[in-house]
């Protein structure tokens, strides 16, 4: 973990997550790729048992407002999302050995040496992610509004409901998307602490429009 980066887990607070593609490349630039990410996010939501309160998928990053997982923590959950997506879009990619190393040589044609190629995964995501603890209702509403208005601010659509890869339509129209929003179905009541956390998420399921 880099110097100055601190994560606060185990507090029962919500987490506002931002994951960015490597060097801002638009790995999420098509509807098909955004659909795939949401499909994977729902799988991870069920496996790590957390509640998604809101999300938006942009061409080169995504934002997510989530509860703390009952299995693992936000770091392990995001690691699962990022790894699975990367494995689906770039299973293997042959790249030249990084500069500064001493690759083996092979000859082609008239004996001219060529650099040896090695199968290496192409980077899809930035190594880490941004995590902001959300502990007040005001901040929860602020983050949801920011996410939902992001596609409009970027000029991708004119109205938030036109962007199909966010939780806006759930809040405006009650539509169910690929990722279940404010669903506590996967949470297990393992004690008073877990029960309190679930009730807190349910209590926060208010209007944000």
Q: Name which residue leads in pLDDT, 89 or 1.
A: 89
91 part of a folded domain: yes
107 part of a folded domain: no
115 part of a folded domain: no
Q: Look up residue 59 and give its DSSP letter.
A: S
For residue 25, what pLDDT is reported?
95
Q: What is the pLDDT of residues 26-47, one digit of tens each?
A: 999 999 999 999 999 999 999 9
Q: Name which residue leads in pLDDT, 193 or 65.
A: 65
6 part of a folded domain: no
Q: 85: Cβ–Cβ under 8 A, 6 or more apart, which residues?
A: 27, 36, 37, 40, 124, 125
Q: 110: Cβ–Cβ under 8 A, 6 or more apart, which residues?
A: none
Beta bridge partners of 196: none
Percent of the chain residues topping a pLDDT of 90: 63
For residue 108, what pLDDT is reported?
54
Average pLDDT over residues 185-206: 54
Q: Give the lowest-confidence range in 8-22, 43-57, 96-110, 122-136.
A: 96-110
Q: In angstroms, what CA-CA distances link 59 with 33, 52, 79, 91?
A: 9, 20, 19, 20
209 part of a folded domain: no
Give the predicted TM-score (pTM) of the model.
0.77
User: Which pair of tokens denotes residue 148?
Assistant: 């939902």
Q: 6: Cβ–Cβ under 8 A, 6 or more apart, which residues?
A: none
Check whether 122 has a pLDDT greater than 60: yes
Give the CATH number of the domain where residue 182 resides.
Answer: 3.30.70.1290
89 part of a folded domain: yes
Question: Which structural domain range is residue 56 located in?
Answer: 14-96+120-203
Check whether 94 has a pLDDT greater than 80: no
Q: What is the pLDDT of residues 163-175, one digit of tens each?
A: 999 999 999 999 9
Tally of domains within the chain: 1
174 part of a folded domain: yes
84 part of a folded domain: yes
For residue 13, what pLDDT is reported?
85
């Amino acid at each position: 973990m880099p110097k100055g980066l601190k994560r606060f887990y185990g507090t029962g607070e919500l987490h506002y997550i931002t994951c960015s593609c490597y060097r801002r490349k638009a790995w999420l630039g098509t509807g098909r790729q955004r659909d795939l990410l949401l499909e994977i996010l729902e799988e991870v939501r069920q496996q790590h048992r957390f509640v998604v309160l809101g999300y938006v998928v942009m061409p080169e990053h995504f934002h997510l407002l989530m509860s703390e997982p009952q299995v693992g923590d936000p770091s392990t959950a995001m690691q699962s999302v990022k790894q699975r997506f990367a494995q689906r879009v770039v299973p293997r990619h042959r790249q030249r050995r990084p500069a500064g190393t001493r690759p083996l040589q092979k000859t082609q044609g008239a004996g001219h040496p060529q650099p040896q190629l090695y199968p290496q995964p192409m980077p899809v995501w930035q190594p880490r992610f941004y995590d902001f603890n959300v502990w007040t209702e005001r901040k929860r509403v602020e983050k949801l509004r920011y996410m939902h208005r992001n596609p409009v601010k970027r000029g991708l659509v004119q109205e938030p409901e036109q962007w199909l890869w966010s939780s806006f339509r759930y809040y405006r129209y009650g539509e169910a998307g690929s990722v279940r929003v404010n669903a506590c179905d996967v949470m297990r009541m393992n004690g008073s602490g877990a029960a309190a956390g679930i009730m807190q998420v349910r209590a926060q399921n208010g209007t944000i429009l």
